[in-house]
Amino acid sequence: MSSNLATKLREGTKKSHTMAENTGFIACFLKGTVEKTSYRKLVSNLYFVYSAMEEEMERQRNHPVVSQIYFPELNRKAALEQDLYYYYGSNWRDQVAPSEAAQEYVARIREVSNTAPELLVAHSYTRYLGDLSGGQILKGIAQRGMNLNDGEGTNFYEFKTISDEKAFKNKYRQAMNDLAVDEETANRIVDEANDAFGLNMKMFRELEGSLIKAIGIMLFNSLTRRRNRGSTEELATAE
């Protein structure tokens, strides 16, 4: 039985994807305006989100659905730790804490794992496929926007144990399409993915205050005029 889940997720989250790309923080990022204070706060929040997601994916690795899309080579926690060391220094653990939106995101991941583990598929899809799809583009934007040397503060975008990211994405999508889930479960996973986009958007919006403070409201407004959807799949969730 094939669920065609990857296809359903792609089609079922198009609107949410577009909305996420048009949040002010992401619109500015995609246009090359990257402010280090707000960006490092995002890295901090992503650290807590990925830590929770990877802990729960590991905990549910024998679940009949989760096990089929459990690929530890996608894990981002260690890479984010390297980036936090770069942005905050050796005592970074004492300086970072999840924002209100990140706490809500983490709580939802924990809740899903405890009550309906199959919905972790939605969270995995929303983050990891975006990381793979837009990673190198976003890495370049971050490097130029913050004048970073290669390897400084952008480990998040590097999948050092995946030699062919395109081939891996195809493998990942195929694994999702092959999941033996019924229509009702597939629809619940799509709904959860849309909710995950919403949680990402809350984190992005939290960052707009510090970004506006750094670049000014006029520039922020000019950069955030509505843009068309980007060409890379799940790009907005990869920052």
Q: pLDDT tens digits, residue range 19-62?
A: 998 888 998 898 888 889 999 999 999 999 999 999 999 999 99
Distances (CA, A) of 168 to 74, 129, 201: 10, 10, 27
Q: Is 19 helix (H, G, I), strand (E, B) or coil?
A: helix
Burial of 208 (0-12, 13-18, 19+ CB in 10 A): middle
The pTM assigned to this predicted structure is 0.90
For residue 230, what pLDDT is reported?
A: 44
H or E, element range at 6: helix 5-12
Top pLDDT among 177 and 217 is at 177
pLDDT at 205 over 80: yes
